[in-house]
């Protein structure tokens, strides 16, 4: 039934442009254990082989993370769990997590990030320290993604500017050149295309050739997006939401990422060597809402997995 539903949605409501459809090919999406439980079957919503990130929030037991990874992998998806450095106590804990993910869910890709806690719980404070352990290469991970920040990051550069973020990018570039794993920069979400394009071009000009997977907030209530944007440190593009909030005709309408993605898709079509490789969705308004928006806008060209 899930397969039939997916095909019907795709055939009946796809209204996108060829540029948008091409740009959304291979998009990824992020879930948490508690949000994944609200989805009866991902095969009714996502194209086959979609990469599904699993966000690890402080306090989530590793057993819940691994169980979610196994469930989603069993439904036919490429699973990429978060490894937040600041909540991993030590190298032995990291090695145990890797073994659990591999042994129970066949995981061979990961997103490394500092994590959203102020003080480290143990030996690690940033993603570079996780990579330096060599445990991911030792375990044969095929993909290692790291964070990118189109609008800077005040946790990394508390006095402003991007000096520390830029230094971290250079380190990650160097690591990518000595690792067998494929790498990508999975970025924080932003709401305005022009600054994203400028940042991506600047990354390339600095000699960083790691592909970019651009973070995009999925459809959600405006109040919800503003709350998350402030909490996540979204920078200048927050003004896009603030301007929308001042327009009473749009205040109660849900935000959709159509404008920012249309502009990025057009830029990619005009500049095929543009270093944004794919789109990564943060489904802040719900996984089903985001997945249905993607279907309607061309992100469903790949055949879904047939449920057993």
Identify the pLDDT of residue 228.
64
**Residue 59 included in any domain:** yes
DSSP labels for 27-50? -EEEE-HHHHTT-S-GGGTS-TT-
Number of domains in the chain: 1
Query: Does residue 236 belong to any structural domain of this protein?
Result: yes
Mode of pairing for the β-strands spanning 51-54 and 28-31:
parallel
Query: What's the chain's length in residues?
Result: 308
35 is a domain residue? yes
Q: Using 50, 70 and 90 to split pLDDT, how confident is the model at 239?
A: low
pLDDT tens digit string along 71-112? Answer: 999 999 999 999 999 999 999 999 999 999 999 999 999 999
pLDDT value at residue 36? 97
Does residue 58 belong to any structural domain of this protein? yes
Residue 124 lies in domain = 2-296
The answer to whether residue 269 is domain-embedded is yes
**In a domain? residue 240:** yes
Quote the distance between the C-alpha of residue 287 and its chain's center.
13
Per-residue pLDDT tens digits for 152-171: 666 776 676 778 888 999 99
Q: Where are the beta strands (DSSP E) in the chain?
A: 28-31, 51-54, 78-84, 109-113, 143-148, 182-189, 212-217, 276-282
Please provide the average confidence, as pLDDT, over all residues in the chain: 86
**Structural domain includes residue 160:** yes
* Contact predicate 75/305, CB 8 Å: yes
232: confidence class by pLDDT, cuts 50, 70, 90: low
Average pLDDT (234-255) is 61
pLDDT score of 268: 98
302 domain-assigned:
no
Q: What pLDDT score was predicted for residue 223?
A: 76
CATH number, domain with residue 195: 3.20.20.220
């Amino acid at each position: 039934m899930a397969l039939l539903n997916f095909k019907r949605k795709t055939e009946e409501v796809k209204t996108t442009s060829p540029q948008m459809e091409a740009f959304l090919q291979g998009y990824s999406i992020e879930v948490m254990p508690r949000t994944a439980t609200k989805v009866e079957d991902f095969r009714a919503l996502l194209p086959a082989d979609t990469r599904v990130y699993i966000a690890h929030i402080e306090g989530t037991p590793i057993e819940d993370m691994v169980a979610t990874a196994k469930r989603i992998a069993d439904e036919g998806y490429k699973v990429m769990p978060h490894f937040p450095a600041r909540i991993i106590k030590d190298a032995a804990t990291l090695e145990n997590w890797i073994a659990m993910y591999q042994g129970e869910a066949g995981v061979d890709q990961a997103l490394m990030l500092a994590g959203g806690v102020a003080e480290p719980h143990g030996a690690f404070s940033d993603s570079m320290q996780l990579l330096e352990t060599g445990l991911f290469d030792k375990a044969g991970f095929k993909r290692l993604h790291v964070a990118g920040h189109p609008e800077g990051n005040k946790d990394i550069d508390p006095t402003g500017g991007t000096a520390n973020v830029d230094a971290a990018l250079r380190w990650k570039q160097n690591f990518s050149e000595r690792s067998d794993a494929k790498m990508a920069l999975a970025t924080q979400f932003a709401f305005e295309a022009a600054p994203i394009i400028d940042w991506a071009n600047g990354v390339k000009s600095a000699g960083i050739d790691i592909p970019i997977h651009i973070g995009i907030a999925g459809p959600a209530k405006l109040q919800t997006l503003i709350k998350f944007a402030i909490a996540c440190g979204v920078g200048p593009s927050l003004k896009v939401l603030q301007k929308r909030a001042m327009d009473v005709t749009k205040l109660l309408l849900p935000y959709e990422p159509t404008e920012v993605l249309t502009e990025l898709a057009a830029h990619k079509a005009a500049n095929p060597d543009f270093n944004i490789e794919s789109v990564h969705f943060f489904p802040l308004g719900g996984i089903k809402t985001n997945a249905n928006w993607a279907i309607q806008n061309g992100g469903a060209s790949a055949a879904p997995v047939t449920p057993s």
